[in-house]
């Protein structure tokens, strides 16, 4: 089943590689603009000082890690509905990129917490703990993927795992509203208390990271497809070569 399927996806993956190439100039411009916004355009925060500038890339990564894990869940649903292996490749690529962003979120959050909260890691804080759980869920997802042989059973299990794992994302998002926490509420109905120039800087950093996510997703999915095709063709050649 999968041999013909993966080869059918080849024209699509070529197109994706082409689109990711087109996205690269936008990505470079946006990243430079995001750095300008974070370091030069946004004003110095009065209480936290310079270290607050970590926040722009921290939030950009957080938003895209949620987006990446949403894509894993969506691709899981699409796989279960269509039984098309293509969606499994998308889910695998998105989970991997989501973990990269989640790692950035946890690391930058910890570095910001040291001077502000006087601790590297506030154990017991709901936002920090649920975020760590989210990271662990998707690390487990990748371990599960690598430990199972390719086939419908693996794709089905991973799709279900990806959908259930996504349930932690709304919990992470709502944790600062549901429980007592020292984590600041940045996006609130009252505006979150950010200066307009800080909001502008954030409005550049988040799209910059979103374009980075999309570029990486296109590239990584295409690589997954190519890897699958190479493996299947190798297998076919070896089988035909047998006496």
State the residues that interact with other proteins by CB under 8 A.
49-51, 53-54, 57-58, 61, 97, 100, 103-104, 107-108, 111-112, 114-115, 216, 219-220, 223, 226-227, 230-231, 233-234, 237-238, 240-241
Residues 7, 215: contact at Cβ < 8 Å? no
Residue 49 or 196: the one with the smaller Cβ distance to other proteins is 49
User: Terminal CA-to-CA distance of the chain, rounded, Å?
Assistant: 24
**C-beta closer to other proteins: residue 147 or 190:** 147
CA-based nearest residue to 168, from 136, 144, 213: 136
CA–CA dist 125, 20 (Å, integer)? 38
For other proteins, which is the closer residue by CB, 158 or 205?
A: 205
For the bound state, the minimum distance from the C-beta of residue 202 to other proteins, rounded and expressed in Å, comes to 15
Residue 55 or 166: the one with the smaller Cβ distance to other proteins is 55
Nearer to other proteins, 80 or 186 (CB): 186
- Whether residue 95 contacts residue 163, with contact meaning beta carbons closer than 8 Å, is answered with no
**Rounded to the nearest whole angstrom, what is the least distance from the CB of residue 156 to other proteins in the complex?**
25
Question: Residue 76 CB, nearest distance to other proteins (Å)?
Answer: 22
**CB of residue 69 vs other proteins: minimum separation in angstroms?**
16
- Residue number with CB closer to other proteins (163 or 208): 208
Q: Residue 53 CB, nearest distance to other proteins (Å)? A: 6
* Gap between the Cα atoms of 61 and 55, Å rounded: 10
Q: Which is nearer to other proteins, 111 or 182 (CB)?
A: 111
Torsion on CA atoms 127, 210, 102, 175, rounded to nearest 10: 10
CB of 146 to other proteins, least distance (A): 13
Using left for φ > 0, alpha for ψ between -120 and 50, and beta otherwise, residue 119 falls in beta
Q: Residue 215: left (phi > 0), alpha (psi -120 to 50), or beta? A: alpha
- With tokens 């800080």, the residue in question is 198
Q: Which of 239, 238, 217, 235 is nearest to 151 (CA)?
A: 235
At a CB cut-off of 8 Å and minimum separation 6, what does 186 contact? Answer: 55, 59, 192, 194
The CB-of-229 to other proteins minimum distance in angstroms stands at: 9
Do 218 and 23 touch, CB atoms closer than 8 A? yes
């Amino acid at each position: 089943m999968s041999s013909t399927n993966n080869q059918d996806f080849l024209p699509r993956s070529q197109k994706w590689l082409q689109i990711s190439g087109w996205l690269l100039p936008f990505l470079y411009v946006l990243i430079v603009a995001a750095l300008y916004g974070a370091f030069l355009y946004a004003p110095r925060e009065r209480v936290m000082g310079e270290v607050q500038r970590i926040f722009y890339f921290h939030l950009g990564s957080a938003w895209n890690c949620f987006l990446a894990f949403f894509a894993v869940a969506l691709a899981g649903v699409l796989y279960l509905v269509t039984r098309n292996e293509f969606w499994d490749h998308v889910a695998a690529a998105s989970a991997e990129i989501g973990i990269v962003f989640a790692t950035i979120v946890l690391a930058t959050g910890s570095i910001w917490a040291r001077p502000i909260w006087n601790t590297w890691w506030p154990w017991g804080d709901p936002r920090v703990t649920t975020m760590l759980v989210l990271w662990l869920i998707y690390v487990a997802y990748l371990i599960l993927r690598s430990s199972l042989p390719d086939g419908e059973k693996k794709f089905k299990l991973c799709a279900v795992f990806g959908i259930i794992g996504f349930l932690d994302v709304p919990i992470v998002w709502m944790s600062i509203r549901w429980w007592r926490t020292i984590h600041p509420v940045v996006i609130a109905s009252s505006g979150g208390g950010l200066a307009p120039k800080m909001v502008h800087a954030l409005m550049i950093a988040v799209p910059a990271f979103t374009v980075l996510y999309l570029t990486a997703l296109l590239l990584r999915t295409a690589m997954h497809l190519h890897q699958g095709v190479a493996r299947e063709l190798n297998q076919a050649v070896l089988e035909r070569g047998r006496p």
